[in-house]
Amino acid sequence: MTTLMVNTLSYKKVPSLLAAALLAMLGLLSMHQEHQKQTPYVSGAWSGVKDVASRLAEREATLKRRIEAEELLLSFTRAQMTRYYWGEFASSMNELGISVGEPFIAKLERSRSDTMLWLRPEHGVEAYLAIVRRDSSGTQLETLHCRGNLSQLGQPFSGTCPDGWDQFLPRDNS
């Protein structure tokens, strides 16, 4: 009886095993043909991957510079507000106790009613600006932070962000 059951089970599995083997062979054959057709494309795909990787690396570098710039602008804003409280705006970054090194070149402009810090990156195309000024009544200080294209750096503007630049609120990491 055991022999009869084994023969019956084997007999019932033969079509399934044949179908599975046939499908596996068709799949392998199809993959082989696709590989031969796509070989030139695959080498082109790798160069595309390198392009994507370089764009992602540049994006990551931009975001890192942006974070560093936001920290500098926030430090500048706080320090100038403190200095103004004690008499007047500082005329240099050294007076504020802030050092600006790589990856930025800083330019500070000051008048009796406002002070501005321009940050130009050594690499990249995004520049930054922080402004601290007295409000129209002269009783309070206002701050403004902007970022935009490096080509607009230092261009005359009306007191808000330069044309084409975006105003932003820096992250407060304190």
Q: What is the pLDDT of residues 78-130, one digit of tens each?
A: 999 999 888 888 888 998 999 887 889 999 999 888 899 999 988 888 999 99
Task: Give residue 22's identity as a one-letter amino acid code.
Answer: L
Q: Quick: pLDDT tens for 60-80.
A: 988 898 899 999 999 999 999
Q: What is the arithmetic mean of pLDDT over 47-56?
A: 79
Tokens of 52: 């994507």
Residue 89 in contact with residue 115, Cβ under 8 Å?
A: yes
pTM of the model: 0.65
In tens, the pLDDT along 10-25 reads 666 666 766 666 677 7
Does the N-terminal peptide bond of residue 103 adopt cis geometry, omega within 30 degrees of 0? yes
Burial of 61 (0-12, 13-18, 19+ CB in 10 A): middle
